[in-house]
Amino acid sequence: MDIGRSHNPYTNISGSIIDVSSSPFILTFDQLLTNSQSIKQREIDDLAKLGPFVNPSLSTLQPAFLRWATVGFPALYPILTISISQPPVCSDSVTRGLYDYISYLIGADLGAKTLLFNDKFDGMNISYSISGSTLTFYVRKS
């Protein structure tokens, strides 16, 4: 039965649609290699975006804290917002939600790591939220 298409699109492991009508193969080694390298690069990029959280420094975070002070220390003030481009399947072939994906990238549970992050700030409490593909850290006075 003709449904008006001359080819069959499939989704590869990185989530991209590929056209396999010109090839007798479901997957070639070159496609697999390209897809796995693409996924690994996304993970490397996402981990780099998490840098201010994983390896916090005063020079990186001070501007956000100064803005918080300037506006009068409101509760739950966003000090760090990170957009993550999570792949559909991680490089270890596991499908994860965003919380688990971030935990996988940083090599520790996100909640536990946030407690350690919080310990670096005296007189303040740090919390976080996840909305869609965005991780946001908030500060409030203790």
DSSP track, 112-125: HHHHHHHTTSTTEE
Confidence class of residue 21 from pLDDT cuts 50, 70 and 90? low
Residue 2 belongs to some domain of the structure: no
Look at residue 53 and tell me if it is in a domain.
yes
Q: Is the pLDDT of residue 11 over 70?
A: no
Domain membership flag for residue 82: yes
The total domain count for the chain is 1
CA 84/CA 135 separation, integer angstroms = 8
For residue 4, being part of any structural domain is answered with: no
> Is 33 a domain residue?
yes
**Residue 137 forms part of a structural domain:** yes
Domain contains 32: yes
pLDDT digits (tens, 9 = 90+) for 25-82: 777 777 777 777 888 999 999 999 999 999 999 999 999 999 999 999 999 999 999 9
In the chain, how long is the greatest CA-to-CA distance?
A: 69
76's tokens: 């739950």
* Structural domain boundaries enclosing 23: 9-141
